A and B are shown apart, each in its own frame.
Chain A
Amino acid sequence: MNWRTFVALLSRDAHVARRNIIPLMLQTLFQPMLFVFVFGRIMTRSGLMAEQYKSMLLPGIIAVSMVLSGIWAVAMPLIAEFQFSKEIEDRLLAPIEIEWVAVEKMVGGMLQALFAGLVVLPIAWFVMGGVDLDGASTLSLLSIALLVALLAAGIGLTLGCSVGQTQIGLMFSLVMAPMIFFGCTYYPWQALAPFPLLQRIVLINPLVYASEGFRGALVPHFPHLSMPAVTGSLIGFDTIFVTVGLRQFRKKALG
Chain B
Amino acid sequence: MAVGIRTRQLRKIYTSPPPMAAGAARGVGFSLSKREKPRERIEIVALDDLSLEVAAGEIFGLLGPNGAGKSTTVGVVTTRIRPTAGDAWIGPHNVWQERVAVKRLIGVVPQRPNLDFGLTAREILTFHGAYFGLSAAERHERANALLDRFRLTDRANQLLFGFSGGMMQRLSIARAMMHDPELLFLDEPSAGLDPQTRLLLWDIVREYHGRGKTILLTTHNMEEADALCGRIAIIDHGRVIALGTPAELKRSLPGGFLVRLQFDRVSEEMLQGLRRLAGVSEVRGSDDSGVDVYADRGGSLVPEIVNVATAAQAAVRDVHISEPSLENLFLHHTGRSLRE
- Point out residues on A near B: beta carbons under 8 Å: 2, 4-5, 8-9, 11-12, 15-16, 19-20, 77, 82-98, 164-167, 170, 252-255
Contacts and interface: CB of A to CB of B under 8 A. Distances in A.
A87 B30 contact: no
**Binding site secondary structure of chain B:** loop
A97 B99 CA distance: 7
Nearest to B22: A255
Contacts of A82: 20
B21 A254 contact: yes
A89 B100 contact: no
B275 interface: no
Contacts of B117: 85, 87
Given A91-B131, A94-B131, A254 B100 contact: no
A97 B110 contact: no
Nearest to B103: A95
Nearest to A77: B118
Given A86-B20, A87-B114, A12 B80 contact: no
A103 to B, nearest CB: 15
Contact of B81 (A8, A90, A95, A254): A254
B114 A164 contact: no
Contacts of B104: 95
Nearest to B159: A19
Contact of B103 (A8, A93, A164): A93
Nearest to B16: A255
B114 A85 contact: yes
Contacts of A15: 118-119, 123, 127
Contacts of B78: 93
B80 A254 contact: yes
Interface residues of B, number: 39
Contacts of A20: 118
Given A16-B119, A93-B108, A83 B28 contact: yes
A253 B119 CA distance: 22
Nearest to B132: A95
Given A2-B100, A83-B28, A255 B81 contact: yes
Contacts of B79: 93
Contact of A170 (B19, B30, B119): B30
B142 to A, nearest CB: 15
Interface of B: 18-22, 25-26, 28-30, 72, 75, 78-82, 99-100, 103-104, 106, 108, 110, 112, 114-119, 123, 127-128, 130-133, 175
Given A82-B20, A87-B116, A11 B130 contact: yes
Instruction: Kindly name the residue among A9, A12, A77, A255 whose own CB sees the greatest number of chain B CB atoms within 10 A.
Output: A255
Nearest to A92: B80
Contacts of A95: 100, 103-104, 131-133
Given A5-B133, A94-B103, A166-B30, A255 B21 contact: yes
A110 B245 CA distance: 54
Contacts of B128: 90
Contacts of A94: 103, 131-132
Contact of A84 (B25, B115, B132, B133): B25
24 contacts: A2-B133, A5-B133, A86-B112, A87-B116, A87-B118, A88-B114, A89-B20, A89-B110, A90-B114, A90-B115, A90-B128, A90-B175, A91-B131, A94-B132, A95-B100, A95-B131, A95-B132, A96-B131, A165-B28, A166-B28, A166-B30, A255-B18, A255-B22, A255-B72
A98 B99 CA distance: 9
A198 B334 CA distance: 66
B111 to A, nearest CB: 10
Contact of A255 (B80, B99, B100, B112): B80
A90 B100 CA distance: 14
B100 A97 contact: yes
